[in-house]
Amino acid sequence: IEPADVLGRFRFDFLNQVLKGNRSAAGHLEDLQAHRPFRDFVYELKGGRPDCRWVLTSGFPRFDGDGKFAGYRGMGRNVTALASAFEGMEPPVGSEPVRHLADLERTMDAMHMGVVLLDARLDTLIVNKAYRDLSRIPDGAVTVGAPFSLLMELNRRNGIYGDIDEKQWQRYLATRVEEIRAGTVAPREFAHADGRTMMFSVTALSGGKRLLTYYEVTEVKRRDAEIENANAKIAETFANLRTMVDQMPIGVLVLDADMRAEVINRAFYDFWQIDARRAETGCSFRELMDASRDIDPYGSDDATWQRHVAEREAEIRAGIAGSRQFPRNDGRTLISSMAPLAGGKRFISYVDVTDMKDR
């Protein structure tokens, strides 16, 4: 429509019919005559093109400095694709499908998740603000009824898919369209060429419609990578410390708050002549002592042994720091020192002082 054919003319000169379920033309006329604001009035444009036949319009009255009505200021949208979905439907009394649809659009625009609603032909019904922001598509670049392939073309121009030749692009485009047409797609990651990562999914709706959702997880991926790197460094540091502890000539035992072994070094096993397969990390302190009973002078008598183990467990649980001697059956002597650690843990060390005593 040429601007000259519209300016200065009455709105109803161009109105063919209103959409079923939308407020009547008479009600809209009452709003205009009363100079009231109106919102989401949908009507069919006389002489409109097939792809621009239905218009949604909203307006607010304007008044001059003397309070005199000066006309309306508002906006209109081409909603032909949306309105066509309601043609031929008999809505229940009092229903307002277009108003509800407008509410749905505003709700989706308030979401942080990118949302694209497609009809059965995979033409756009709704492209929310979050999607446009994620894809860096300017407002107005995609109108209702545009094919989904246009969104992908815009994304391609914005460099989302990186360098891709025409043959590769057509193959990729066909694959994506076919995937969406096939139905539900479980959430999966989609990496942009600029380094951003999106979580993408497709939900099949009634009437062949498709709901596409996009959620940026770049920051989550970055934090996950940082945590993974930090854990790798911690694991490397722990492995290095374990190697160092195993090379020490001092027997080392670290118990957790439940008196289970967290660290046992090579020297500890050697001092108490324990087969490491019998008492591995995670075993109880009592199991360690039972594994060393043959070399312990208290191990010959059951009653004496049980009393000795109970006393040793009690003093370790008490967390009293100090040192004491432990003789072995073969005549060698060990000095054990115990120190409490955070979280109820205990650090116990053993040193063979036999040679020092013999000097």
pLDDT tens for 31-89 read 777 887 776 677 777 666 777 777 777 777 777 777 788 887 776 777 776 655 555 44
Q: Which residue do the tokens 């072994």 mark?
A: 261
CA distance 269 to 245: 13
**The residue type at 243:** T
CA distance 110 to 70: 33
- Residue 350 DSSP SS3: strand
Note the pLDDT tens digit of each residue in 116-155.
989 999 998 888 888 888 888 887 787 778 889 989 999 8
Instruction: State residue 30's pLDDT score.
Output: 76
Higher local confidence (pLDDT), 224 or 143: 224
C-alpha triplet 107, 18, 72: angle, nearest 5° = 70
- Residue 64 DSSP SS3: coil
Best mean pLDDT range from 95-99, 110-114, 311-315: 311-315
Q: Tell me the CA distances in angstroms from 190 to 117, 195, 198, 204, 217, one per residue in order.
A: 19, 10, 5, 19, 10
The rounded radius of gyration (Å) of the Cα atoms in the chain is 39
Give the other-Cβ count within 10 Å of 331's Cβ.
8
CATH number assigned to the domain covering 111-216: 3.30.450.20
Q: Tell me the CA distances in angstroms from 286 to 258, 263, 289, 291, 328, one per residue in order.
A: 11, 15, 5, 9, 17
User: Which token pair is 325?
Assistant: 């001697």
CA distance 257 to 326: 23
Q: Which residue do the tokens 């909203």 mark?
A: 58
200 sits in which H/E element: strand 197-204
Domain definitions of the chain by residue range: 3-84, 111-216, 248-358
Using a 10 angstrom Cβ sphere, with 0-12 exposed, 13-18 middle and 19 or more buried, the burial of residue 281 is exposed
Task: Supply the mean pLDDT for the chain.
Answer: 82
CA distance 213 to 350: 62
Confidence category of residue 311, pLDDT binned at 50, 70, 90: very high
Q: 205: which DSSP letter?
A: -
Q: CATH topology of 111-216 equal to that of 248-358?
A: yes
Confidence category of residue 233, pLDDT binned at 50, 70, 90: very high
> Where is average pLDDT lowest: 44-48, 93-97, 326-330, 337-341?
93-97
Note the pLDDT tens digit of each residue in 163-219.
888 999 999 999 999 999 998 888 888 888 888 888 888 999 888 999 999 888 888
Q: Which residues contact 127 (CB under 8 A, 6 or more apart)?
A: 115, 116, 117, 137, 142, 151
CA distance 73 to 66: 18
CA distance 134 to 113: 9
- Model-level pTM? 0.47
Instruction: State residue 267's pLDDT score.
Output: 95
User: Is residue 253 a contact partner of residue 312, using CB atoms and an 8 Å limit?
Assistant: no
Q: 123: which DSSP letter?
A: B
Q: Which residues contact 216 (CB under 8 A, 6 or more apart)?
A: 134, 196, 197, 198, 199
Give the other-Cβ count within 10 Å of 274's Cβ.
21
Average pLDDT over residues 252-266: 95
CATH number assigned to the domain covering 248-358: 3.30.450.20
CA distance 209 to 328: 81
